[in-house]
A and B are shown apart, each in its own frame.
Chain A
Amino acid sequence: MSEGQYINVMPHPRILGVLGDIEFAAWQCLAELVDNAFDVFQSSPETGGERPTVSISLPTAQDSRSTAEVTVQDNGRGMSLDEVRNAISAGWSGNGRHGALGLFGMGFNIATARLGRKTVVRTGRSCDSYWTEVTLDLPQIEASAAYQAPYRQVPKANPVEHGTVITISDLKGEQFEALRRPNALKVIREKLGDVYSYLLTERGFRLTINGKKLPPRKPCVWDEKRTVTRRGVEISAVQRIDVPLSDKKACMACGYWNPLDVDRCRECDQDRLEVRSRRIWGWLGIQRYVHRTDYGIDFLRNGRKILLKDKRVFYWTDEDGLGEPELEYPIDSKAATGRIVGEIHCDHVTPNYQKTAFEFETAEWHQVLRAIRGESPLRPEIAKRRQLPENDSPLALLYSGFRRQDPGLNYLVPGNGKEAIHEKTVQWAKLFRDDHPDYQSDDIWYEAAYSHDHPHQNDPGSDSDSDTDELLPGLGPVTPGEEDDDQEVPGAEDVPSADDPAPTETFEQRLQRYRDNADQFPDLAGEYLIPEMGRIELRVWAVRDQRLTNAKDQETPAFAIMLRSPRLEVFVDSDHPLYREHGADMRDIALLEAAEYMRVRQNDNSTPLSQLLLLFKERSSSPLLTPTAMADEAERLLERIRTLMAPVIAETPAVHWLQLRADEREAAEERFALESEPGLDWTEAVNNGDFIRFAPASAVLRVISESPALFMDGKVFRRSYAALSASDARDLIVERLMNPLSDLALLAQHRPKVTPEELGRIRVSCRLIARDLADDS
């Protein structure tokens, strides 16, 4: 090609309209425009004494598509004609790549083109006597084949007025419909309140939608002064993070971070470099409630959240990145609920243009992850097994302190004396977010965790804990002495009025009370498809300490109820004399109730009840009463025991190694050779206590019986041991444990011929042990 010839690469005017095809949710479009206004506030905070305010107005139900418009108005310093030109020209960015919320100078064009076809920008500075009003009519610009937007100057009523109003009309059909959806406003409010919570709280910015202020979403976390103790270390529920990084030269053109000694960007060779200090800072904390999704870390750039409730810090990836990332939290709760949250500012990490993610494959991002979670696995046992150093990052500290969700002060989880009250704490969190004054501090949560560990004594006025719980959520049992001091009892209307006066319990509430005080039979739970009888999903609740009355208010040892098809729930009063005194099997009765329910539902009593019971039994996952099935069950339980013992053994491995007989050591080594992961070393396993995971059942029993104190009190078995002072009593406890354990060991190890009666006894032993295991499965 000869020199001096050029091809014009100026984009076609249609490009402005095409930008609107980029996938942006309505809230993201609004956020782009809010970002621009907030950038102005941050760069020139003076608004003449007025609170920096952005007001958004969205179409209301009365608007038709032809009249609907979206307005975003700010009281910032306003723009000169040159500034407006830059602000609305696609691809121009006065912000550079650093220091501002705006990114590529395209946010305005994408957001406005996404929402509608016509945009009017009216802006003025306090020194101007007129407003500058520019109209961007996309169809017109396209038709004119030139990028030209007309503007005019409109006199101001008051010369000192300043600010910018962006009005988008001729809304696109899809956007108009999306904005009119019943939930749209709520979603937008919640999203923006969350995304900008830091700027709204810390910078005093104000954001309104349709004349209502957006409340920032505040983190509902335990106070910094709350602590738990692990291995002698006190761990605060809030961990501060402040990692100063070396200064670098930011390239304002491409965003690349250069070392200080260069003059031109190493990435793009431009000379627009600015020295910037860089820092990773913020906090990690423990939420006062657990939730399936509402937890995780927020990552912010220049005060705006880019990642919300992000959970990638909870995964561990080995440094070679060969294995799949492994989830490390939450792994201790059956329901996979979590409560570690945080707010991490990392202004120097580049986000994607949609501001919904960072550039994850960069050194900067990995540095952020390291500052939070370190490099080793959070799980100390796994780290040790992989010969990685112990993780002492802020996240690992919180993990060791708060990974579990057991009620009480040990894990800082509210409880009612029997179990954790997770659902209630979620309701309290709502009151917290609704600004209810009683729920702002964590006192109510703390009281509930405290009183779980310290049940109140001699409270003659109340004979049922659960009743007080229902009436005064969060207040819990009053600690003696405190009641009298509390002269200014918050007015009765402070307690949500639904709870006042004492309501009569509805049937559904009664069922909830049963569920709250029950253990499920997981082996009976699940789907049952009975030929000609239909399909149900069964759940069986073994209710403790509550007398059962069915829907007809009849007292009964068990009843079945289907509130919503196909789920059938069976409630069994586990303290009822039918079981306690007459020896009926709760599981059998539960399945009988289910079977009878099916017969009544089908209006068919031609099938004998006992025949139907058999069909149910065949479909449940309860182990059969055959030697093989019981032996498998026993082996499964022993595996769980070994897993729980491993960390205890790891404290003094040599002591326990010596407790094994020679043949047991050999057996363990043989099994290790057969079953262990490749790359693991037997000597290492002997030294770190892992050998117990391969030891035969008899060895497991011997180790337990020789030092029972190590394994009781919630470490392997729930039963309490340390609290007993008399040695006879301790012996009895051990004996009561060893008897069923021996049954398990016998069957698992020898598979002897046994009679059905013996098998029955072993099944009971299995159930006794399963109930006593401290691993929550």
Chain B
Amino acid sequence: MYRTADELDWEFLSNPGKTAQYRRWFDDPDIGGELRRFASDQDVRVWIKDVPMKEYARAQEGIGNFVPYVRRRFRGADEIVQFFCGADWSVVPESVEGKPNHCLATDGNATRYVCWGKAGVLKDLIWAALNKAIDSPTRPGIVITTRDGETISQNARERHARLANHCGVDLDHLHRSMIDNPDLITDR
């Protein structure tokens, strides 16, 4: 499924395009066919959408149990932290989590909460950062990420920054490229 998703440029597919592909997976005897032996049609549909394909985006971030199955992915939380906080900072081990993607960053003295995602989830990022801001002595940070094929206009960037500033959090934009997944496992 991930190989097909790569070929289709999943993240750039229109919603009808995604729906059509969900249906193809459902109809595929090797995918939907296998799954239907264990669950109802409706459950199979939901599973395809909510488990592997929701994990696909997270796996590309290097987060979750499905990381070993994507061929290419982003560099991971280190890239975010070092871009946002500086080269001396690193990710606090075991602190990377999703919903939204976030981690703790440290320079050995202080720790900061950093969360990141696409511009479309800015609302969630701000809410998460605000919740940290009232509990934490350091300013939390938000990184809006783009990938090849995505651009954000200057006007939108400025608005993001003003929104963050208004809320007392820091925000920056990062365009990332993918690398071959170092954790890829192949079954053949």
Contact = CB atoms under 8 A, between A and B. Distances in A.
Interface of A: 48-51, 53, 55-57, 59, 63, 67-69, 71, 73, 75, 157-158, 160-161, 165, 167, 169, 206, 208, 211-213, 434-437, 488, 490-491, 493-494
Contacts of A490: 27
Nearest to A75: B148
B17 A161 contact: no
30 contacts: A50-B177, A51-B148, A55-B150, A55-B151, A57-B151, A57-B152, A59-B153, A67-B153, A69-B153, A69-B154, A71-B151, A75-B148, A158-B83, A165-B151, A167-B153, A206-B12, A208-B149, A211-B150, A212-B12, A213-B9, A213-B13, A213-B149, A435-B17, A435-B20, A436-B20, A437-B20, A490-B27, A491-B23, A491-B26, A491-B27
B153 A71 contact: yes
Interface string B148-163: 1111111100000000
Which 5 A-B residue pairings sit nearest by Cβ, starting from the closest? A213-B12, A67-B155, A53-B148, A208-B149, A57-B151
B54 interface: no
B20 A161 contact: no
Contacts of B155: 63, 67-69
Q: Which of B12, B24, B151, B174 has the most CB of A within 10 A?
A: B151
A628 B50 CA distance: 80
Contacts of B180: 49
A51 B12 CA distance: 13
B149 A53 contact: yes
If over half of B's interface residues share one DSSP class (helix, strand or loop), that class is named, otherwise mixed; here it is mixed
B28 to A, nearest CB: 11
Interface string B117-148: 00000000000000000000000000000001
Contacts of A436: 20
Nearest to B179: A49
B14 interface: yes
Contacts of A59: 153
Given A73-B151, A160-B177, 20 more contacts: A49-B72, A51-B148, A56-B151, A59-B153, A68-B155, A69-B155, A75-B148, A157-B83, A157-B174, A161-B177, A165-B151, A167-B154, A206-B9, A208-B12, A208-B149, A208-B150, A212-B14, A213-B9, A435-B17, A435-B20
Nearest to B29: A488
B79 A158 contact: yes
A63 B16 CA distance: 26
B178 interface: yes
B178 A50 contact: yes
Interface of B: 9, 12-14, 16-17, 20, 23-24, 26-27, 29, 72, 79, 83, 148-155, 174-180
B153 A57 contact: yes
Contacts of B72: 49
B177 A206 contact: no
A160 B176 CA distance: 10
A165 B180 CA distance: 24
A211 B83 contact: no
Contacts of B83: 157-158
Nearest to B12: A213
Contacts of A488: 27, 29
If over half of A's interface residues share one DSSP class (helix, strand or loop), that class is named, otherwise mixed; here it is loop
Contacts of B153: 57, 59, 63, 67-69, 71, 167
A704 to B, nearest CB: 57
A59 B155 CA distance: 10
A638 to B, nearest CB: 57
Nearest to A169: B154
A48 B9 contact: no
Nearest to B41: A491
Nearest to B24: A437
Contacts of B24: 437
A437 B22 CA distance: 13
Contacts of A53: 148-149
A491 B79 CA distance: 45
A69 B157 CA distance: 12
A212 B150 CA distance: 8
Contacts of B26: 491
Contacts of B13: 213
A50 B148 contact: yes
Contacts of A67: 153, 155
Given A157-B83, A212-B12, A491-B27, A49 B148 contact: no
Nearest to B155: A67
Contacts of B29: 488
A50 B26 CA distance: 30
Nearest to A73: B151
Contacts of B178: 49-50
A437 B79 CA distance: 40
Contacts of B9: 51, 206, 213
A49 B153 CA distance: 26
Nearest to A167: B154
A206 B79 contact: no
A13 B29 CA distance: 66
Contacts of A161: 175, 177
Contacts of B23: 491, 493-494
A49 B154 CA distance: 28
Contacts of B79: 158
Contacts of A63: 153, 155
Contacts of A68: 153, 155
B112 to A, nearest CB: 17
Q: Which of A68, A157, A161, A436 has the most CB of B within 10 A?
A: A157
A264 B180 CA distance: 49
B147 to A, nearest CB: 9
B17 A206 contact: no
Contacts of A49: 72, 178-180
Contacts of A55: 148-151
A57 B119 CA distance: 14
Contacts of A434: 16, 20
Contact of B177 (A69, A75, A167, A491): A75
Contacts of B14: 212
Nearest to B172: A157
Contacts of A69: 153-155
Nearest to B159: A67
Nearest to A51: B148
A493 B83 CA distance: 47
Contacts of B149: 53, 55, 206, 208, 211, 213
A228 B23 CA distance: 36
Q: Which of B9, B79, B150, B155 has the most CB of A within 10 A?
A: B155
A68 B153 CA distance: 8
Contacts of A157: 83, 174
A158 to B, nearest CB: 7
A400 to B, nearest CB: 39
Contacts of B27: 488, 490-491, 494
Nearest to B180: A49
A580 B76 CA distance: 82
Q: Which of B12, B72, B150, B154 has the most CB of A within 10 A?
A: B12
B177 A48 contact: yes
Q: Which of A51, A213, A437 has the most CB of B within 10 A?
A: A213
Nearest to B158: A67
A267 B159 CA distance: 56
Nearest to A49: B180
A474 B141 CA distance: 56
